[in-house]
A and B are shown apart, each in its own frame.
Chain A
Amino acid sequence: KQEVTQIPAALSVPEGENLVLNCSFTDSAIYNLQWFRQDPGKGLTSLLLIQSSQREQTSGRLNASLDKSSGRSTLYIAASQPGDSATYLCAVSAFTGANSKLTFGKGITLSVRP
């Protein structure tokens, strides 16, 4: 059974710092990995998706990497801002199409101090 772990549970950094959020998964047989942002009491906003055949994806100040063989992904946030404060979740899917359910980590709650 796939397990996704995100450590630490919470992180506090000063504004402007570059930071890395980690995600690990137990079964390397994945099809893709998604990073989401969740604001308190809100829905899930997809940030980046990496296919298992890819090594990384970039969107603005965000860069996600994937090392499938070691079961790890990182989300790099450059020049963090207070508006980046949120919970960041990673999720993996093992299959495509109708069986592509996502298995989530518990998330890392990021606080960026002005």
Chain B
Amino acid sequence: EPEVTQTPSHQVTQMGQEVILRCVPISNHLYFYWYRQILGQKVEFLVSFYNNEISEKSEIFDDQFSVERPDGSNFTLKIRSTKLEDSAMYFCASMVEGFSYEQYFGPGTRLTVT
């Protein structure tokens, strides 16, 4: 069964460094999302992406964040200058157009900023 994949599974970085989190959505899906979950807290929406542009972004998604779909398969989240509070699990999700609009999630990337 097709699934969303994410790499790396765990990333450790120093404060102020740039990180790129990578996702490969399910191949026929058209809508792409990033969410994050700080330890012990709710899963929070960051950004949605459709037709090669951002559809919606949350207050969390400030100028330090960017997303890109550099080719037909990858979807990336870049954090330009990481802060301690960016430490979280980051989930990518994708969705196909249709009646149900069900989102399928990847296994997540655990980002630890030291």
Binding site for B on A (CB under 8 A): 31-32, 34, 36, 41-46, 49, 51, 89, 91, 93, 96-107
Question: Could you tell me the distance in whole angstroms from the C-beta of B33 to the nearest C-beta in chain A?
Answer: 7
Cα distance A36–B104 when bound, in Å?
A: 10
5 cross-chain pairs, A with B, having the tightest CB-CB distances, nearest first: A98-B55, A43-B107, A98-B50, A44-B105, A104-B43
| Chain B interface, >50% SS class | strand
Given contacts A98-B48, A100-B95, A101-B48, contact A49 B43 (CB under 8 A): no
The count of A-to-B residue pairs whose CB atoms sit within 8 angstroms is 70
Chain B stretch 6-65: residues in CB contact (< 8 A) with chain A: 31, 33, 35, 41-45, 48, 50-51, 55-56, 58
Q: In the complex the two chains form, is A100's CB within 8 Å of B48's CB? A: yes
- Give the interface size class of chain B: 20 to 34
Given contacts A43-B91, A43-B108, A99-B48, contact A105 B42 (CB under 8 A): yes
Q: In the complex the two chains form, is A46's CB within 8 Å of B104's CB? A: yes
**Residue in B51, B103, B108 whose CB lies within 8 Å of A102:** B103
Among A32, A36, A49, A101, residue most surrounded by chain B Cβ atoms (within 10 Å): A101
Given contacts A44-B43, A102-B45, contact A96 B110 (CB under 8 A): no
Chain B stretch 56-96: residues in CB contact (< 8 A) with chain A: 56, 58, 89, 91, 93, 95
In the assembled complex, which residues on chain A have CB atoms less than 8 Å from the CB atom of B44? 104
7 contacts between A and B (CB under 8 A): A34-B102, A44-B43, A44-B91, A98-B48, A100-B48, A101-B56, A102-B45
**Residue in B33, B42, B106 whose CB lies within 8 Å of A106:** B42
